[in-house]
Amino acid sequence: MRKVEISTAGFGYMGKIHTIAYRSMPICYKNFEYDIVLKRLITSQKLSNTIYEDTAEDIESIGDTYIADICTPNFMHSTQIKKLINMGVKNIYCEKPLAGDYEEEEKLVSIAEKNDVKNQIGFVYRFLPAVIRGKKIIEEGIIGDVIRFNCHMYHQSYLNPMKPISWRLKKNQSGGGALVDLGIHMIDLIHYILGPITNVNGHTKTYINKRPYGNCMEDVDVDDFAHLDLTVNGCINGTLEVSRVAAGKGEDTLIEIFGTKGSVRIQTSQPEIPSVYILKDNTWIDGQQFTFKEVEEDINTIWPSSKLSLGWMVNCHMASLYSFIASTFGKKFNYIQLPTFNSSKEAMKIIKSVYDNDTHFLQ
């Protein structure tokens, strides 16, 4: 077995999800060929017990690791990545966004390329089997030429006006609100499934303008909601909405793509199989009726069987992390394209345009 030493920076929600994924891989994957060693956890928390060999507070202490996994708040990513690259770390996985600032992400992409650093960004929705299968169905022309698309990601977690200020609610630390937190995933999926966004017109809204911070109330400077009108490849129009204040929507993600011969629906409530509408038959069918060898081989490699499922959220993080581990040893997938630091930069380019109120053709 190939020994893989992994050190993780950050032990909030994402750090815990990643740790669960690493520990579950040998159980969930058939013929798993890696001996994962959780070497060091970087955290400021005082923890009595972790499954890592050691804990520390400074990123410099993981300069000798094989894979560095960044799960810290957004504003810490850039400095940590630069330090890791300067120390010679050659494999870096980072949760999205890469930095939360387009210009800074441009710099990080350039630094990683110059130093030959293998990298991946946590755009985990790419690894949902429904996304993989739906993308291939569209490419094969089963729904004809794409006319338009609608997509949304709705959460309700910020409806409570007494939810206190955290780094996620400060633009200088998060890079933005719902559009950065949720919208970046959807923008990447549009890029991945349909192609580059060539025009954007959008608006954002902050509904709860003040929140508690200590004993006071502070202004909120990030968006709760965003609506984008988009053009892909200069000719396909669509809409994107994201919200963290959508009552009744614990987690609701949907992509609908309409073509001249039918349509495809991808949703997290059905994470493994897209729904396909066939116009000539006037019927919806299970997207798994269309099978493609290269697609199914990739899914069987990265996605656990239903009996070993950890739930779609952990599954897609585990699939993304596993694909990165495998890629550092030269693994090539048949169909899946792994998201890199550059994928985050391209998504942040769209977000910057919206935040700058800059509606124009993007070169």
- C-alpha distances out from residue 289 to 142, 147, 292, 312, Å: 12, 23, 10, 21
Q: Which CATH architecture has domain 129-290?
A: 2-Layer Sandwich (3.30)
The model's pLDDT over 8-53, given as tens digits with 9 standing for 90+, comes to: 999 999 999 999 999 999 999 998 999 999 999 999 888 877 799 9
Given a cut of 50, whether residue 360 has pLDDT beyond it is no
Mean pLDDT value of segment 231-238: 97
The model's pLDDT over 274-303, given as tens digits with 9 standing for 90+, comes to: 999 999 999 999 998 999 999 999 999 999
Domain range summary for the chain, segments of one domain joined by +: 2-122, 129-290
The model's pLDDT over 90-100, given as tens digits with 9 standing for 90+, comes to: 999 999 999 99
Given a cut of 60, whether residue 359 has pLDDT beyond it is no
Determine the residue type at 340: T
Given a cut of 60, whether residue 362 has pLDDT beyond it is no
What confidence score (pLDDT) does residue 251 get?
A: 87
Given a cut of 70, whether residue 220 has pLDDT beyond it is yes
Question: What's 2-122's CATH class?
Answer: alpha beta
Given a cut of 70, whether residue 363 has pLDDT beyond it is no
Q: How far apart are CA 12 and CA 17, in angstroms?
A: 9
Percentage of the chain exceeding pLDDT 70: 98
The model's pLDDT over 162-212, given as tens digits with 9 standing for 90+, comes to: 999 999 999 999 999 999 999 999 999 999 999 999 999 999 999 999 999
What confidence score (pLDDT) does residue 361 get?
A: 39
What confidence score (pLDDT) does residue 268 get?
A: 97
